[in-house]
Amino acid sequence: MYKKMNSLKLLFSLSLLTFLAINSGFAADETVSNAENQTAKTEPVKKAKKIASITGSRRANTVSEKKIKKIEQIVYSYVEKGSNISHNEVKKEIISEVNNIYKVNPKDKPLVVNFVKINNDIKLLIVKKFPLSKKELKIKLEKIAAQKFQPAKINSVITLTYKQGPYKRTITGRYYGLTYYNDGVKIENTIIPIFDLTDKDKNKFDSKLRMFKQKKFITKNLNKYEEKKNQFINKTKRDEIRLIIEKNEKLGFIYTWGKWRSPEAVAYIMIDYIIAQMKAQHSE
């Protein structure tokens, strides 16, 4: 019924225009042609249900994502007011509106992320910031560990902390060696069981524990060194890529669907997407 009424209205309008053209001396054919073009441009289309955003429901965070959302809003505003966005004249209006906000066709080409160059630059930075190889660092750490975890020297004066019941005691005196079964420490006239010593002091008399602590110290610091190096590499890569993204966005490009595109290209993708969604709804 809606289409039939529109057809009648259109027929009436064309008849009236023809009548006026004939009576005013103008060519009726030219007048009718202009009227048809104008009608095709403004002819309302059946309003579609709300179409899901092409970018999904997630929040726009980056500059590109915000531009995409804005362009989508512009395109959909024409659908909401009943314009036929499949018509070329309407498309031109949409592009014109997008152009009022963004550069439709950026003059320069987008910069490309050159990972080979970035990796080569990072290698030079690593040499300065992390000069030691893993092998060289291990040798250095072994020397530090040997110095850090030393056995107690006989006849040297040492201070030990140990448990006595629920209490902690500290003793300072000359060390005379271990007991016969190597399970006690002789300090002056006192024998303290190794078992009661604090973990820090046990390694001075237990060779196996001392070796374990040295290895643990070396492994921990090797891993820490490698972790810092990897963090530096990843951060440097991210910073380089971020700079390229910022430059491309300043040039007017939008990063979407795996590549840099002009706002005009994004607008046309939006138009095609909404047209396809509306056709899908109509066929349901």
Which residue has 């349901």 as its token pair? 284
Q: Bridge partners of 167?
A: 164
pLDDT category, 57, cuts 50, 70, 90?
A: low
Q: How confident is the model over 153-163, as pLDDT tens digits?
A: 999 999 999 99
pTM greater than the 0.75 cutoff? no
**Is the model's pLDDT at 7 over the cut of 50?**
no
Q: Bridge partners of 163?
A: 168
Token pair, residue 135, equals 């092998």
Domain boundaries, the chain: 1-43, 65-106+260-284, 109-145+211-251, 152-204
Which residue has 């840099």 as its token pair? 260
Q: How confident is the model over 86-142, as pLDDT tens digits?
A: 899 999 999 999 988 987 777 788 988 888 999 999 999 999 999 999 999 999 999
Closest CA to 113 of 249, 232, 240, 251: 240
Q: Using CA atoms, how far apart are residues 249 and 65, in angstroms rounded to an integer?
A: 11
**Within 10 Å of residue 268's Cβ, how many Cβ atoms?**
18
* Residue 228 vs residues 25, 190, 232: alpha-carbon distances, Å: 87, 47, 6
**Is the model's pLDDT at 150 over the cut of 60?**
yes
